[in-house]
Structure 1
Amino acid sequence: MDQNNKIERKLTLMHVVAIGLAYMSPMAVFDTFGIASDVSSGHVPAAYIVVFIAILFTALSYGKLVRQFPNAGSVYTYTRNIINPYLGVIVGWVTFIAYIALPMINALLADIYLSAGFPGIPGWVWIVGLIAIISFLNIFGVRIAASVNMLLVVFQALVGIIFTILTIRSIINGPESFIAIGDIFPSGEEFSGLFGAAALLALSFIGFDAITTLSEDTVKPKKTIPKAILLVAGIGGVFFFSVTYFMQSLYPDVSIFNDIEGASPEIAMMIGGNLFLSFFLAGALFSVFASGLAAQLSASRLLYAMGRDGVLPKKFFGKLHPKYNSPVNNILLVGLLSLSAIFLSLEAATSLINVGAFTAFSFVNLCVIINFFRHQGPRTLGYTISSLIFPAIGLAFVVYLWANLDIFSIIAGIVWALLGVIYLAFTTDFFKKEPPQIAFDELEA
């Protein structure tokens, strides 16, 4: 491999965790609380426990595979090498739709937040402005983007801590009481709503899989990335449960709010007044910015891996800037594609994320299961549990998520996948040639 076209390893564990948490967008816990509480009949903390346990099995599958393939391609790389090269390209193609949709969602959210404060300015200005800034930062290198994300994540954590303190104060001084441990989980017919809310909240944990695209940017990726995956999932799980436990204790019935989908600003106003509401909205805006920065970074790395392999035109997608050591062409392309947010609704962009994320989760678990059956050594009880039972549980939960998708998401996924099949057929002379493949020993740390 040309050493001048090789990504430099600059990221430490702290950097990778910060990017994963930024991608996860911790402030989203406030945006989803109202609707999740309504669906779960007031058991949001329990829904987060369920989804954390379920998603943890998929996180463990990612950890296994990144040790085997410390490569920027993530699920694209795993699928093409373990299952089939053609299928790997299609899976990478479908997964990419999630990486490109998240910057769109963040741009749309920035429009919503800022247009409320500055109604005289056209919404497209905020969308273009956000995408331009995150593209600029990502061009100048992954270390700068990671450092900015660390600051933004710390600010979001500070907002969450103050929010929790104010909520606890309101509970102590008011008529409500803390939820008893035995009452966290519902009983009887309410269990169906609990799993419905868990499906709704599953994408809160999407950040842990995005960081696998940073394997080539990371020092000692075989050790660092698996640790980061579990840390991101664990920190997110503790944060989401803690915040919603106190929110649910203070507001067991969200029907009191004017808009359950936008309950969090009302709660912020009630517990902290106008000053805290301003601080809270700043945190929400920073969350959108940090998540968009991380999403564009991950998308550019996935395109770089496919371009370097020759699946996409190598001269464009597989090229690194000689000074900044970043895939500038891919960053700019992702930025341009993200501008389509001007013409999309928030619901449509969310549907695209669902399709891409669930595809990635499904094939990561499948790859670990297939690896188990191909394993030539002894299949001990521990190996069977970690390499067959755990990924099977993870896959079962993802199948449940697929079953809860709306028809628009399914159609969008099928159409996008068909476009990928057509492209692959064209570039491989109707599947007579295998897609090119890079030698992974050249990527070892």
Structure 2
Amino acid sequence: MSDQNSLKRSLGLWAIVGLGLGYMTPTVVFDTFGIVSKQTDGVVPLAYLVALVVMLFTGLSYGKMVKVFPSAGSAYTYTRETMSKRLGFMVGWAALLDYLLLPMVNALIIRIYMVSLFPSVPAWVWVVSYVAVVTGINAWSMKGTSRLNTILVVFEITLIAAFLVFGSIQLSNGMGAGTIMTTDPLIHAGVQVGAVLTGATVVCFSFIGFDAVTMYTEEAKHVSVMPKAILLTIFIGGAIFFVAGYFAQALFPTVAHFHNTDDTLPEIGLYVGGKIFQLVFVAGAFAATVASGLASHSSVSRLLYVMGRNGVLPRKFFGYVHPRFRTPLLNVILVGVVSLLAISMTLELISSVINFGALIAFTFVNLSVIAYFVVHKKRYKTPRDFFTYLVLPIIGAGMTGILWVNLHADALIGGISWTVIGFLYMLVLTKGFRTKLQSFDFEEADRS
């Protein structure tokens, strides 16, 4: 592939990890604390621990597959290359729903923040301004996106550290459990396994982002860093969620203190550190949202680029790389246009279907390990291979499958509707399955 038609390799290990953490938005643990605390009967950190285990199994599968297929397609690429091109297209199409909606969610959250601060300014002004800035940064340079994302992630992690300090002081003064050394946030009378699993289903979505780093494979300085980047993103993000959730649960054993349990971040900041810290804490959440917006915007543009390069989406548009910026410029702009829908959409509507595609992608990445290593490469004859390439991915697929079937009814309806549209599009693309989908071949794509 010619240099002008390829993505620029400019990202090191920690730059990729930073993009993954930015995508995950660590401060989301405080936004959803009230919801998860009610669902789990006050064991938020335990729900995160369960979710972390589920994500680690899937993360191991991503690490295996990214070394075999070092390209930017993620679950879409792995499924089409190990199982079926048509099945791969459908997995990619399902994942596209998740990736397309995440940038819009960030734009919508920014709209909510700014309207609450400046109610006299029309909401569309904030959405258009935010989308224009994020789109411009992504179009200009992936390296620039990474640098700004890193600054924002460091800022929000610093604020979380400040929360831990203030929280420790408040606990020593008798607030909540009255001590840091308590097991109540993890286990106490009345906690039910079903409730914890329900909470884990919710917080599992906080980890969405570790898989998105695979979209930067073709921009990594060395492909070998990708498995490390995936696992580091999961471990660091999981550690932040667990520790922050533990302190929050120790400080607030119940949600009785909160006036708005749908988003408890502002009140947590107020009760723990006072009015000034609350303002800074909300500013950190704003930074986290921008960081997530940068990361999610860039990752979906890469997925569209790979699908365009393969010819399953119109190649001249979706497979285009700007010769100077070396970014998929048209895709970046398209994602920006879609994000403008945040002007009128509601957070409840978007979030109800956002995880449908992600869990499908996670499940099929686990299955692709089995398809490639066990079915194609016959790597099951030693105890180590049997455990590594069959047992572990089966556990991973089973865990993500359980979460998928427990999705909200609105998510299933919206996701299935999107899938049907994708299936009909594939019928048109293959002329009723009379022709094959194009193979994943870089040289062939260049010649076309």
Instruction: Find 1:420's aligned residue among 419, 422, 426.
Output: 422
Query: How far apart are residue 188 of structure 1 and its match?
Result: 6.0
Q: CA offsets per residue over residues 54-93 of structure 1, 9 Å max, x none? A: 1110111111110110011111111111110011111111
- Answer with 365-374 or 375-384: which moved more: 375-384
Q: Are residue 99 (structure 1) and residue 61 (structure 2) matched? A: no
Query: How far apart are residue 377 of structure 1 and its match?
Result: 4.5
- Answer with 295-304 or 408-417: which moved more: 408-417
Q: CA offsets per residue over residues 159-192 of structure 1, 9 Å max, x none? A: 1000111011000012522353486234665222
Equivalent position amino acid for 1:231 in 2: L
Q: CA offsets per residue over residues 266-301 of structure 1, 9 Å max, x none? A: 121112111111110110111111101100100000
Matches within 5 A, 1:291-302: 291-302=292-303
Structure 2 match to 1:275: 276
> Secondary structure at 1:185's aligned position in 2?
coil
Distance verdict in 2 for CA 1:189–1:173, change over 3 Å? closer
Query: Is the Cα–Cα contact under 8 Å of residues 380 and 390 in structure 2 kept in the other structure?
Result: no
Q: Are residue 16 (structure 1) and residue 19 (structure 2) matched? A: no
- Answer with 271-280 or 293-302: which moved more: 271-280
- Answer with 294-303 or 168-177: which moved more: 168-177
> Secondary structure at 1:262's aligned position in 2?
coil
Q: Are residue 202 (structure 1) and residue 216 (structure 2) matched? A: no
Distance verdict in 2 for CA 1:358–1:198, change over 3 Å? same
Query: Is the Cα–Cα contact under 8 Å of residues 22 and 153 in structure 1 kept in the other structure?
Result: yes
Distance verdict in 2 for CA 1:288–1:45, change over 3 Å? same
Query: Is the Cα–Cα contact under 8 Å of residues 179 and 249 in structure 1 kept in the other structure?
Result: no
> Secondary structure at 2:353's aligned position in 1?
helix
TM-score (norm 2): 0.95
Equivalent position amino acid for 2:257 in 1: I
Matches within 5 A, 1:391-410: 391-410=393-412
Query: Is the Cα–Cα contact under 8 Å of residues 379 and 386 in structure 2 kept in the other structure?
Result: no
Matches within 5 A, 1:177-326: 177-181=179-183, 184-186=186-188, 190-221=192-223, 223-326=224-327
Alpha-carbon distance in structure 1 between the residues aligned to 2:365 and 2:443: 21
Alpha-carbon distance in structure 2 between the residues aligned to 1:441 and 1:319: 15
Query: How far apart are residue 128 of structure 1 and its match?
Result: 1.6
**Runs of 4+, deviation exceeding 4 Å:** 186-189, 440-443
Distance verdict in 2 for CA 1:174–1:377, change over 3 Å? closer
Query: How far apart are residue 28 of structure 1 and its match?
Result: 0.5
Distance verdict in 2 for CA 1:249–1:331, change over 3 Å? same
Query: How far apart are residue 111 of structure 1 and its match?
Result: 1.0
Alpha-carbon distance in structure 2 between the residues aligned to 1:351 and 1:369: 31
Query: Is the Cα–Cα contact under 8 Å of residues 167 and 271 in structure 1 kept in the other structure?
Result: yes
TM-score (norm 1): 0.96
Structure 2 match to 1:113: 113
Query: Is the Cα–Cα contact under 8 Å of residues 138 and 145 in structure 2 kept in the other structure?
Result: yes
Alpha-carbon distance in structure 1 between the residues aligned to 2:82 and 2:136: 36
Alpha-carbon distance in structure 1 between the residues aligned to 2:21 and 2:10: 18
Structure 1 match to 2:4: 4
Equivalent position amino acid for 1:64 in 2: K
Equivalent position amino acid for 2:98 in 1: A
Alpha-carbon distance in structure 1 between the residues aligned to 2:141 and 2:359: 29
Alpha-carbon distance in structure 2 between the residues aligned to 1:100 and 1:67: 26
Alpha-carbon distance in structure 1 between the residues aligned to 2:403 and 2:128: 33
Structure 2 match to 1:35: 35
Alpha-carbon distance in structure 2 between the residues aligned to 1:442 and 1:33: 50
Query: Is the Cα–Cα contact under 8 Å of residues 79 and 368 in structure 2 kept in the other structure?
Result: yes
Equivalent position amino acid for 2:144 in 1: I
Q: Are residue 166 (structure 1) and residue 161 (structure 2) matched? A: no
Query: Is the Cα–Cα contact under 8 Å of residues 179 and 245 in structure 1 kept in the other structure?
Result: no
Q: CA offsets per residue over residues 238-289 of structure 1, 9 Å max, x none? A: 1111111111111111122112222221121112111111110110111111
Distance verdict in 2 for CA 1:48–1:342, change over 3 Å? same
Structure 2 match to 1:154: 154
Identity of aligned residues (%): 41
Gaps of 5+ in 1: none
Query: How far apart are residue 353 of structure 1 and its match?
Result: 1.6
Number of aligned positions between the proteins:
442
Alpha-carbon distance in structure 2 between the residues aligned to 1:80 and 1:269: 50
Query: Is the Cα–Cα contact under 8 Å of residues 76 and 88 in structure 2 kept in the other structure?
Result: yes
Query: Is the Cα–Cα contact under 8 Å of residues 78 and 364 in structure 1 kept in the other structure?
Result: yes
> Secondary structure at 2:354's aligned position in 1?
helix
Query: Is the Cα–Cα contact under 8 Å of residues 27 and 156 in structure 1 kept in the other structure?
Result: yes
Alpha-carbon distance in structure 1 between the residues aligned to 2:305 and 2:84: 20
Alpha-carbon distance in structure 2 between the residues aligned to 1:292 and 1:72: 19
Alpha-carbon distance in structure 1 between the residues aligned to 2:90 and 2:352: 18
Query: How far apart are residue 343 of structure 1 and its match?
Result: 2.7
